[in-house]
Amino acid sequence: MSGSGAPTIETPRAEGLRVAVIAAQWHPLITDSLVAGSERALAEAGVTDHKVVRVPGSFELPVAALHAARSGYDAVVALGVVIRGDTPHFEYVCQAATEGLMQVSVTTGVPVGFGLLTCDNDPQALDRAGLPDSREDKGYEAAQAALISALAIRSL
């Protein structure tokens, strides 16, 4: 999937929304930066009520996201990094996390910003992590997506 075709997205005003950021701990340099990017977006949107919860790995993102969605949060931001290794483990963790997060979102009606990086190698992940030399900031983008979706849902 290439990034070409991505729209220019403005960070909305979202005062009053409650947001849970759920982040895995694997690849801490990258996940910490994704968390920082998501918090930057929340601050720019005027969100004052947010909580960051860390889970061990990306496989655990869906269950924590489910609890957040059931606990009254208006939006969830899920952040993690999975790097391909020599075994099929990569596919299982990526598929479980991705499908699990989508299920949480469609079964609870609470939007989940998808900030799970699924990369072949470290440089690909670093390039998307929102670090000073990164080209992209997927933590920021995932928070934007969660906020915009929550506001869109409210308007329906």
To the nearest whole angstrom, how small is the minimum distance from the Cβ of residue 125 to ligand DLZ? 9
To the nearest whole angstrom, how small is the minimum distance from the Cβ of residue 35 to ligand DLZ? 13
Residues from 33 through 52 that contact ligand DLZ (CB under 6 A): none
DSSP code per residue over 76-145:
EEEEEEEE--SSTHHHHHHHHHHHHHHHHHHHH---EEEEEEEESSHHHHHTTBT-TT-S-BHHHHHHHH
To the nearest whole angstrom, how small is the minimum distance from the Cβ of residue 16 to ligand DLZ? 32
> Is residue 98 close enough to count as binding ligand DLZ by CB under 6 A?
no
Q: Of residues 12, 18, 32, 57, which one binds ligand DLZ by CB under 6 A?
A: 57
Active site residue 89: yes
Alpha carbon distance 9, 144 (integer Å): 8
> Is residue 23 close enough to count as binding ligand DLZ by CB under 6 A?
no
Q: Is 114 annotated as a binding residue?
A: yes
Q: Is 128 annotated as a binding residue?
A: yes
Beta-carbon contacts of 73 under 8 Å, excluding residues fewer than 6 positions away, are 18, 19, 20, 51, 110
Q: Is 153 annotated as a binding residue?
A: no
Beta-carbon contacts of 86 under 8 Å, excluding residues fewer than 6 positions away, are none
> Is residue 60 close enough to count as binding ligand DLZ by CB under 6 A?
yes
Task: List interacting residues with ligand DLZ (CB under 6 A).
Answer: 24, 26, 56-60, 80-83, 89, 93
